[in-house]
A and B are shown apart, each in its own frame.
Chain A
Amino acid sequence: MNKNVERLYNGLIKENPTFVLMLGMCPTLAVTSSAINGLGMGLSTTVVLVFSNLLISAFRKVIPNGVRMPAFIVIVASLVTMVQFIMNAYTPSLSESLGVYIPLIVVNCIILGRAESYASKNPVIPSIFDGIGMGLGFTFGLTCIGLIRELLGAGQIFGFQILSLEWFTPITIFVMAPGAFLVLACLVAIMNIVRAKMEAKGKPLAAPSGCLSGDCSGCAQSAMCTGRSLSKEGAASAKATAAKNAANAPKTE
């Protein structure tokens, strides 16, 4: 398979950031109260992701290894600011309903994760396709969750009344905060079943690598998030480091 097509397939299906890798959960929960919000958030993240992958891959030999994280953050933050202003200008209602979550694309772990694990090691063209694949995968995930929540919570799809209010009482809680947690919980449970089935078939899915998995060993951001997980052995090693630091402290003084 062509490498670029492979990247698209990888992002959309094999390592779908929402369903398989479970990355970027903050926006997934926050902006999926309707399908259009999910779509808007997904597309703006895609734009940032494609351009950040492009720039980081182009500059990968110039950026010194020691300061690569701050450099990536500056690149991503500049792109996010541009996207924010473009959305303010051309889609004011969408930008109002997404609010603070647009600037928060900066701390979305998909973007820095792809920068760290793919774009900083690969040539420009595959990096762009990686960004497109991952971005569209994320958009697809957000739109699906948005569709489910909007349909159950308001009987609408993209703002059109699908289920007649004459016989359907909207379950309003689905478009409010608790509904986000509930839909995501069901999604994680379904993915657990799918995962077990695929494993039985001998075709295991990629392990979830985001914060949802509860252990940061597979997280692409662990380079920046030096605290690692405090769960499992993380707690023990964290305590050991703290003890070591405490023991070292008098010496350094």
Chain B
Amino acid sequence: MKELLLIAIGSAIVNNVVLSQFLGICPFLGVSKKTETAAGMGAAVVFVITISSFVTALIYKFILANEALMSKGIDLTYLQTIVFILVIAALVQFVEMFLKKNMPPLYESLGVYLPLITTNCAVLGVALTNVTKEYGILESVVNGFATAVGFLIAIVIMAGIREKIEYNDIPKPFRGTAIVLVTACLMSIAFMGFSGMI
């Protein structure tokens, strides 16, 4: 239990996925203009990353690193990048269809963000990190969930700040993306304050 909690705090806050690992920069910069859309995007990311880390952990444990195959000398782990990216792409499509059919209210709030996530490097990044750190299935799910919550925290704070920035008088060359990156820099410094926690 304590270990899981440490993994969760570590990936959500200390090693924040956007601000210290630079994964998922695209949605972080692209969809952070309004708090509402940012929260929707964040929620969709939480949903997808949690499911995808569960599925990829299952596939890794029972197919790619299958003990029965390993003992016969067949090591399929080298296929992980190819398998993970395809599984994630298919999974997002599948989740979208499932939500559309069975949970229309949830689809309405998350649906538009789902296709954006297919190409999100954070999803593949988490799946690969789970393998590199040799997490089991439960640990992978917790790590995936916490990483995505870290993304949600970062993107919502960023959107809140950007709504205020709109009214500020910014030097001309820094208008647009540049000032957002400066903001990200300051947020990243703030998040570095957590680094002594674990």
Between A and B, 13 residue pairs with Cβ closer than 8 Å are A25-B29, A30-B21, A70-B86, A73-B85, A84-B81, A181-B188, A192-B173, A193-B173, A216-B30, A226-B115, A227-B116, A230-B113, A230-B116
CA distance A86 to B101 in the complex (A): 45
B: residues with CB less than 8 A from A are 19-27, 29-31, 33-34, 37, 41, 78-82, 85-86, 89, 100-101, 104, 107-108, 111-121, 124-125, 128-129, 132, 171-179, 181-182, 184-186, 188-189, 192
Contact status B188-A177, CB under 8 Å: yes
Contact status B179-A214, CB under 8 Å: no
Pick from B23, B25, B33, B82: contact of A81, CB under 8 Å? B82
Q: How far is the CB of A237 from chain B (nearest CB, A)?
A: 9
CA distance A174 to B86 in the complex (A): 36
Contact status B124-A106, CB under 8 Å: yes
CA distance A220 to B63 in the complex (A): 34
Pick from A173, A177, A241: contact of B112, CB under 8 Å? A241
Contact status A74-B86, CB under 8 Å: yes
Q: How far is the CB of A113 from chain B (nearest CB, A)?
A: 11
- B-contacting residues, A156-183, CB 8 Å: 173, 176-182
Q: How far is the CB of A172 from chain B (nearest CB, A)?
A: 11
CA distance A28 to B111 in the complex (A): 30
Q: How far is the CB of A24 from chain B (nearest CB, A)?
A: 10
CA distance A22 to B178 in the complex (A): 12
Contact status A192-B176, CB under 8 Å: yes
The 9 closest A-B pairs by CB, nearest first: A211-B26, A227-B116, A185-B181, A181-B185, A30-B22, A227-B115, A77-B82, A189-B173, A178-B188
Q: How far is the CB of A16 from chain B (nearest CB, A)?
A: 17
CA distance A129 to B23 in the complex (A): 30
Contact status A189-B128, CB under 8 Å: no
Q: Mark A25-65, 1 if CB is under 8 A from B, else 0.
A: 11001100000000000000000000000000000000000
CA distance A104 to B127 in the complex (A): 11
CA distance A253 to B107 in the complex (A): 15
CA distance A238 to B176 in the complex (A): 22
- Size category of the binding interface on chain A: 35 or more
Pick from B27, B119, B128: contact of A221, CB under 8 Å? B119
Q: How far is the CB of B17 from chain A (nearest CB, A)?
A: 11
A-B contact count (CB 8 A): 167
Is A207 interfacial (CB 8 A cutoff)? no
Contact status B125-A185, CB under 8 Å: no
Pick from A74, A100, A212, A221: contact of B29, CB under 8 Å? A212
- By a CB distance below 8 angstroms, the chain A residues around B81 are 77, 80-81, 84, 103, 106
- By a CB distance below 8 angstroms, the chain A residues around B121 are 26, 104, 107
Interface centre among A30, A106, A107, A212 (most CB of B within 10 A): A107
- By a CB distance below 8 angstroms, the chain B residues around A1 are none
Find the B residue at minimum CB distance from A25. B25
Contact status B185-A185, CB under 8 Å: yes
Q: Mark A82-121, 1 if CB is under 8 A from B, else 0.
A: 0011000000000000011001101101001000000000
Binds B, one of A3-11, A146-154, A242-250: A242-250
Is A235 interfacial (CB 8 A cutoff)? yes
- B-contacting residues, A207-243, CB 8 Å: 210-214, 216, 221, 224-227, 229-231, 235, 238-239, 241-242
- By a CB distance below 8 angstroms, the chain B residues around A225 are 115-116, 118-119
CA distance A154 to B162 in the complex (A): 32
With A25-B25, A230-B37 known, 11 other A-B pairs at CB within 8 A are A77-B81, A77-B82, A103-B124, A178-B192, A188-B176, A189-B173, A192-B173, A210-B26, A211-B25, A216-B30, A230-B116
Find the A residue at minimum CB distance from B123. A107
Knowing A103-B124, A211-B26, the reply to whether A70 touches B173 (Cβ < 8 A) is no
- By a CB distance below 8 angstroms, the chain A residues around B27 are 211
- By a CB distance below 8 angstroms, the chain A residues around B132 are 99-100
- By a CB distance below 8 angstroms, the chain A residues around B89 are 70, 73
Find the B residue at minimum CB distance from A195. B173
CA distance A239 to B116 in the complex (A): 14
Interface centre among A104, A196, A238 (most CB of B within 10 A): A104
